[in-house]
Structure 1
Amino acid sequence: MTSKKIAKEIQSTVAEVGSADGAKAVDRQIGTQIRVQRQQANMSQLMLGERIGVTFQQVQKYERGSNRVSSSTLYEIACALGKPIDCFFEGLPRPRYVDAIGRASSHQIADSDVTMLSGYLGRINQDVRDSIMDLIEAITDRY
């Protein structure tokens, strides 16, 4: 399967997960996991907000899924809670395109794709890069 077909499959899956109120099911699920992990750490919304540099109201919005959490903020939340970043993705359904990616990965990755990914990763600081690699490893172990 080509990368264009995989991208279309991803867009299709993301569109299916959307809801009428604008919040995506994935955003709500990640928000729920943020709340669960925060509560397990015996941390208030105020304390978490202070650690990541936002108000407790913003933490509430993340937990409800009404505001999306950027990848850098999710990384900061994971660090503040002392949790691995992949814990926030627990309970999410397996997207259909994962199978397509699995089939595609049985083929050799093009050198141009490796070069492109290397360029992107080279622009990210080492700590975030390590977290991305941990996330990729967790995803490949799961599927």
Structure 2
Amino acid sequence: MVVELMNCGGCKERFFREDVVRGEVISLLNRMWHKEHIQCVFCKLTITDERYFRSNVDPMKPACYACHIQTTHPACVGCSLPIIERGLVAFDRLFHIDCFRCAICHKTIPQRRGFYERDLMLYDESCYMMYIKDLPPDEDAPPT
């Protein structure tokens, strides 16, 4: 592992002995950085909480926690936010458990219960049987 000790990974300026003595310089991603110059490669905000990750666009630049999650975790079909812990797959689409909702009544559809899909819309069993089941294939679903 080669660590570049001469210039800051952010500002590219040379380090001064005083910077190192005051603890204003840290090693990150095989480079040395002034603490205040550690910026997220995506959002450009200074990373202050020491939760930085190697970015997937430039391995020599850090990403903040929020951008790391946004760029490395799959998005929920229901809300478009990343799925961090648990999700569920239905009809080859990924959902947060709380976003797996009926298009008519908007109630969360319990796992391992009956649910249906039509025209990329999800329905719990009762709404599907009541409103959707007998519609001809070319008609739109009822308003949500």
More helix by share: 1
More strand by share: 2
Greater relative contact order, per chain length (Cα 8 Å cut-off, separation 6+): 1
- Higher-Rg structure is 2
Q: Normalization by structure 1: what TM-score?
A: 0.22
